[in-house]
Amino acid sequence: MRKHLVLKILTGFAVLAVLICAACTGIGYIQYRAYIQKQYNDMAYQVAETFLGFFEEGELERYIHMAAQFKAGEVPGETLEREMASGRYQELRGQMDRLREHMGANDIYLAQLDVEELYDFYLEELEGTQDASGDGRSWNPMTYIMDSYVEPYRFGDMGGLSPAYIKEAVALARSGERSDSYFISESIYGYNTSAILPIVLEGSTAAVIGVEIPMATLQKALGDYVSHSVLSMLVVTVLCLAVYVHILYRSIIAPINLIAGEASSFVKEENQVSTELEKIRTGDEIQTLSETLLKMERDINHYIDNLTKVTAEKERIGAELNVATQIQADMLPRIFPAFPGRQEFDIFATMNPAKEVGGDFYDFFLTDSDHLALVVADVSGKGIPAALFMVISKTLIKNQAQMGDSPAQILQAVNDQLCENNEAEMFVTVWLGILEISTGKLTAVNAGHEYPIMKKDGGEYEMLDDPHGFVMGVMPGMQYQEYEIWMHKGDSIYVYSDGAPDAVNAEEEQFERERLLASLNRVPGASPVELLGQVKGDIDRFVGEAAQFDDITMLCMRYCGS
């Protein structure tokens, strides 16, 4: 099924909108999550700084030294017990609990940090002799001083940092400054952020204050953010899509539908040029398309008008050419046998024009009861001009021959006549022979034509190297040389135009005189009718699908005796 253009565009827009919403939501989610984590972490450090402010001068240092001495075995546990029971320790512990409850923290603790043990464990972990997951030997770099938790550590209890914080703890111990990283962990209470504030004494980190604050609202806040963002973007997308569809339909779909409808109407209403296309003024490619279609409709109508005129003119010219072809064919002897009452000779001729009308011609006629004139000629050029020049040449030759002149006299007189007013500079080649029927003497003259081919009775056809004169119609006053051939019973003469040996096949090879002689001698005893059919068939087979480019004219006369 075809999909409407608007559906394709809307589908693409919807997919793009979904991708943009997803990308914006994802980016916002990451940035918002990082912002909340920073806020929680900063709050944890603020709690640690607040708790640090509870201690009086020298008080914090005393607790740290006491814890270090206890770990080293220099202070007994009873001393720590008495300290925990003191009013000041209980006051600080109460302030710690109230601060924890007020800030919603999970835990606040103060612990002395054994830096050397921390370093040793870190180096062992780097060397691969210690497992960072804490599955190796027990290590307790921290000695708790105060702790506010559900089950708090007591003064002097040992503990360790989370294995995930070892690297940051080492950096913190070395620098004595808070870490730039967020300490985020997940427990049964959800996500937590931890602040580890280093306490520096005598130039080195001696203790840490740790604060752990649950990020209980993080997941809810992120979920609310995602749902609100998606809902907001969905509403905005739907509104934008509605506006977009309206604009799309008015500026693109409606004009395209109009163009398609007018194109269909142009076909159905028989080339009625549209008036609606001129109303499209979008100022973009659609207007260009409508203007192009409108121009195409006008051009098609103009082309059809011209084609109608040209077709009519071509039909008129074709009809006239058919008439001209018929007239030219009627001018050539076409009834065979040509002289049914004469048994002294057998004659046959053909002319196949390359176009509707040609410039070649043949003729044969009796000038008296004992003389037979044979003519084969080839006019320069093709088509109508050559046909007109052929008609003039044929008429002049026949008229002059019937006056009883010799072949040379005939061509000399006709040449002078053709040279008069020959501004087209056309010419004609002619072979003319007059046979004295009673004796077999053939008097011939050649005005630039092909060599005739003779066959003696019982022999083969051979080329006759006769004297050539200049072509007719170019220079007046030309003299032509006659020659005589004595024909005996059974002798034949074959005269042709250059269209036969010059016929070309698809490979641009010429038929040539050698193939012509071979075709004539394939069945040398054939009658003139059979002989010309045999030669024309061989030429056609040689030429194949190639177009005939010149007229092919042939004449054959066999002398049967007086």
pLDDT at 1: 37
- Quick one: pLDDT band at residue 127, thresholds 50, 70, 90? low
Interval 227-240: pLDDT, tens: 777 788 788 878 88
- The residues pairing with 185 across neighbouring beta strands, listed in sequence order, are 192
Is residue 379 domain-shared with residue 284, that is, in the same domain?
A: no
- Quick one: pLDDT band at residue 398, thresholds 50, 70, 90? very high
Q: Edge-to-edge strand order for the sheet containing 552-559?
A: 345-352, 552-559, 492-496, 453-455, 461-463
- The percent of the chain in helix, strand and coil, each rounded to the nearest 5, is 50, 20, 30
Q: Could you tell me whether strands 371-379 and 453-455 are parallel, antiparallel, or unpaired per DSSP bridges?
A: unpaired
Q: Judging by beta carbons within 10 Å of its beta carbon (0-12, 13-18, 19+), is residue 143 exposed, middle or buried?
A: buried
Q: Which of 357, 288, 267 is nearest to 318 (CA)?
A: 357
CATH number at residue 154: 3.30.450
Q: Which of 136, 188, 141, 144 is nearest to 169 (CA)?
A: 141
Query: Which residues does 175 contact at the CB level (< 8 Å), separation at least 6?
Result: 198
Q: Which of 278, 138, 128, 112 is nearest to 210 (CA)?
A: 112
Q: Does 524 fall in a domain?
A: yes
Please tell me the least confidently modeled range out of 198-212, 315-329, 499-513. 315-329
Is the pLDDT score of 532 beyond 80?
yes
H helices of 128-215, where?
Answer: 166-175
Question: Which tokens go with 120?
Answer: 């040793």
Amino acid at 404: G
Is the pLDDT score of 134 beyond 50?
no
Torsion sign (Cα): 23, 29, 35, 38: negative
Q: Does 411 fall in a domain?
A: yes
Is residue 152 domain-shared with residue 301, that is, in the same domain?
A: no
Interval 213-230: pLDDT, tens: 887 655 666 677 677 777
Prediction pTM value? 0.52
Q: Look at the block and give the residue holding tokens 């003191």.
A: 86
CA 412 to chain CA centroid, nearest Å: 69
pLDDT at 135: 43
Is residue 301 domain-shared with residue 378, that is, in the same domain?
A: no
Whether the CB-CB separation of 346 and 560 falls below 8 Å is answered with yes
Q: Is 16 helix (H, G, I), strand (E, B) or coil?
A: helix
Is residue 309 domain-shared with residue 396, that is, in the same domain?
A: no
Structural domain that includes position 84: 53-214
Q: Does 443 fall in a domain?
A: yes
Is the pLDDT score of 355 beyond 70?
yes
Is the pLDDT score of 466 beyond 90?
yes
Is residue 311 domain-shared with residue 408, that is, in the same domain?
A: no
Q: Does 222 fall in a domain?
A: no
Number of C-beta neighbours around residue 45 at 10 A:
18
Domain boundary among 199, 214, 229: 214
Query: Which residues does 60 contact at the CB level (< 8 Å), separation at least 6?
Result: 52, 199, 207
Q: Does 32 fall in a domain?
A: no
DSSP string, 122-154: HHHHHHTSS-TTTTSS----EEEEEEESSSPPP
Helix (H) or strand (E) holding 428: strand 428-436
- The single-letter DSSP state of residue 358 is -
Length of the chain counted residue by residue: 562
Q: Does 227 fall in a domain?
A: no
Is residue 187 domain-shared with residue 162, that is, in the same domain?
A: yes
Q: Which of 445, 447, 455, 431 is nearest to 483 (CA)?
A: 445
- Quick one: pLDDT band at residue 467, thresholds 50, 70, 90? very high
CA 474-475-479 angle, to 5 degrees, is 120
- Quick one: pLDDT band at residue 354, thresholds 50, 70, 90? confident
Is residue 65 domain-shared with residue 196, that is, in the same domain?
A: yes
- Whole-number Å distance between alpha carbons of 67 and 109: 14
Indicate the angle between helix axes 87-103 and 77-85, nearest 10 degrees: 70
For the chain, what is the domain count? 3
pLDDT at 228: 77
- Whole-number Å distance between alpha carbons of 345 and 7: 89
Q: Does 380 fall in a domain?
A: yes
Is residue 208 domain-shared with residue 312, that is, in the same domain?
A: no
Q: What is the chain's mean pLDDT, rounded?
A: 84
Is residue 206 domain-shared with residue 300, that is, in the same domain?
A: no
Q: Which of 144, 297, 278 is nearest to 208 (CA)?
A: 144
Q: Which of 101, 83, 79 is nearest to 91 (CA)?
A: 83
Q: Does 17 fall in a domain?
A: no
Is residue 312 domain-shared with residue 373, that is, in the same domain?
A: no
Is residue 374 domain-shared with residue 506, that is, in the same domain?
A: yes
Whether the CB-CB separation of 193 and 182 falls below 8 Å is answered with yes
Q: Which of 374, 365, 339, 406 is nearest to 494 (CA)?
A: 374
Is residue 475 domain-shared with residue 544, that is, in the same domain?
A: yes
Q: Is 25 helix (H, G, I), strand (E, B) or coil?
A: helix
Q: Edge-to-edge strand order for the sheet containing 107-113?
A: 158-159, 142-148, 107-113, 204-214, 190-201, 183-187
In Å, what is the CA distance from 264 to each residue of 36, 90, 254, 271, 464?
63, 97, 15, 10, 72
- The residues pairing with 558 across neighbouring beta strands, listed in sequence order, are 346, 492
